[in-house]
Amino acid sequence: MVFRQIYEEGLAQMSYLLGCAATGEALVVDPKRDVDTYLELAESLGLRITAIAETHIHADYLSGARELAKATGATLYLSDEGDENWKYKGLEGFSHVLLRDGDEFRVGNIRVKAVHTPGHTPEHLSFSVAAGAVTDEPLLFLTGDFVFVGDIGRPDLLEEAAGIKGTALPGARRMFRSLKEKFLTLPDHVQVWPGHGAGSACGKALGALPATTVGYEKRHAWWAEYLERNDEEGFVKALLAGQPEAPTYFKEMKRLNRDGMPILGGIPHPGRLTKAQFDRYLRKGAILVDTRDKFAFAGGHIRGAINIPAGKNFSTWAGWLLPYDRPLILLAHPSEVEALTRALIRIGLDEVVGYIPGLQGYADGELETVPQITAREAKALWERGEAVILDVRGRDEYLAGHIPGALNIHAGRVLAHLDKLPKDKPLIVHCVGGDRSSTAISALLSHGFRNALNLTGGIRAWQEAGFPVEKGEELVSA
């Protein structure tokens, strides 16, 4: 059996290619949307992709299953578990098989069994894989967002991101039963290959290793002690505590992955815009995504631009802050445009109409800057009650220690809570060191908040100066 893990760093996402050397057939599990990766890999291995499977309806990225099926004619293997809200649609014209718990299919000599493992989502499947030419005993367990290395999938995403109330607690209880009845019954030697690694928002403590084993997780995962004691209540409480904020775009991903999305037919290649084209797109409502670092952006940028620096977190921040109903223009070095475009299409931001390589020749008049304020200057305004402090870190970071009286709105959610922010007094924005606050300020500036100031050095500079910090409940949780 041929087995390859494909890792996408930006979303800490893992997909898989399994091939039967005897027949030349291959299965891809949980593909990302830029499917040329799998086509090229299969060709290099002398395989043809005949089957594509998904563990569940993904929230953090746009699935490439339909895209890859369109390119190859392969059969889709999708979950038929869950209620009507979790049934796939838009499958007309695709060869597909809907799976329920215990269903099996073969790819050459490889035997794949669907195991219903709800908790993260109601329809979630894991795939038990056996090298059928050798033995029918399971060798691999592809767990999607069920079991990670050292962690398990969060059950609160439906409430946190999709706004479906009353689902987190039942999901946590289903996760307990899935672990007890499905995972713990597997032999210790079975290899566990998850859908995400460290850095994903689909869990709170994902390990950085690419895989684990059933036996190791039984002994060392944080949840193992609760299962050993059969302590469902303690498990539920621990699982729901401390989960990170879920990006708002997750709701859009759920809908598109369930109902269907546009088929790209290849990777888009946005061209370099002329000045006239650039101006015309801006007049029509396009958003300029400035991918330079925070220092370059603060030193001078085109008014209205949103600063999302190129890097491994680009997809996530784009999903947080960019709308799905407006064209996008990239300000980026030509060598980075393809990678950035791929990062955007992975989360369904397809309308990249072009790029500009820099400010020269495109900026009209004076550039806008990001005003800076030192910790000492900020403290003086704070003491006199003349400014509002906006802490754009995560909720848990805020509760662990924050400037007294500071508002807490995650950087990715500032645009959803503009009504909570003043325009008539200085708004001092900070994170830990300045990366998230720069992105948040760029979003605020694009919406007319000319009173936003960046706390140079973030809360770290405030603490190093010996200024007061308190712990406790946030005044604004958003």
pLDDT band at 200 (very low <50, low <70, confident <90, very high): confident
Please, which pLDDT band fits residue 447 given cuts at 50, 70 and 90? very high
Q: Is the pTM of this model over 0.85?
A: yes
Long-range contacts of 332-339 (CB under 8 A, 24+ apart): 332/291, 332/357, 333/357, 334/272, 336/291, 336/310, 337/270, 338/267, 338/269, 339/310
Q: 388-400: b or e for each residue (b if 16 or more CB lie within 10 Å)?
A: bbbbbbbbebbbe
Q: What dihedral angle (degrees, nearest 10) is formed by the CA atoms of 378, 380, 381, 385?
A: 130
Percentage of residues of the chain with pLDDT beyond 70 = 96
Domains annotated on the chain, with CATH? 2-259 (3.60.15.10), 275-356 (3.40.250.10), 372-464 (3.40.250.10)
Alpha carbon 85 to its chain's center: 22
Q: What is the reported pLDDT for 135?
A: 79
For residue 127, what are the CA distances in angstroms to 46, 60, 159, 215, 437?
A: 24, 20, 26, 17, 41
| Amino acid, res. 125 | L
Distance between CA 269 and CA 342 in Å, rounded? 10
Higher pLDDT, 205 or 44: 44
Q: b/e map of 227-243 (b: 16 or more CB within 10 Å)? A: beeeeeeebbeebbeeb
**What's the confidence (pLDDT) of residue 476?**
47
pLDDT single digits (tens) 108-119:
999 999 999 999
Instruction: Please measure the distance between the N-terminal and C-terminal CA atoms of the chain and give it in whole angstroms.
Output: 48
pLDDT-derived band at 46 (thresholds 50, 70, 90) equals very high
State the pairing for strand pair 13-19/25-29.
Answer: antiparallel
Mean pLDDT of all residues in 424-449: 95
pLDDT tens digits, one per residue of 350-389: 999 999 999 999 999 899 999 999 999 999 999 999 999 9
Instruction: Give SS3 for 173.
Output: helix
Average pLDDT, the chain: 94
Distance CA 352, CA 104 (A): 41
Percent of the chain with pLDDT over 90: 88
Q: Are strands 125-131 and 110-116 parallel, antiparallel or unpaired?
A: antiparallel
Q: Which residues contact 75 (CB under 8 A, 6 or more apart)?
A: 50, 51, 52, 69, 95, 96, 97
CA gap 446, 282 in Å, rounded: 13
- Give the pLDDT of residue 162: 63
Decide: helix, strand or coil at residue 233: helix
* pLDDT tens-place string over residues 391-401: 999 998 999 99
Distance CA 451, CA 14 (A): 42
Q: Torsions phi, psi of 99, nearest 5?
A: -110, 145
Does the pLDDT at position 246 exceed 70? yes
Over range 72-101, report the average pLDDT: 96
What are the pLDDT digits (tens) for 6-20? Answer: 999 999 999 999 999
Identify residue 217 by its one-letter amino acid code: E
Q: What's the rounded mean pLDDT across residues 149-178? A: 86
* d(C-alpha 26, C-alpha 42), whole Å: 8
For the segment 403-408, the average pLDDT, to the nearest whole number, is 96
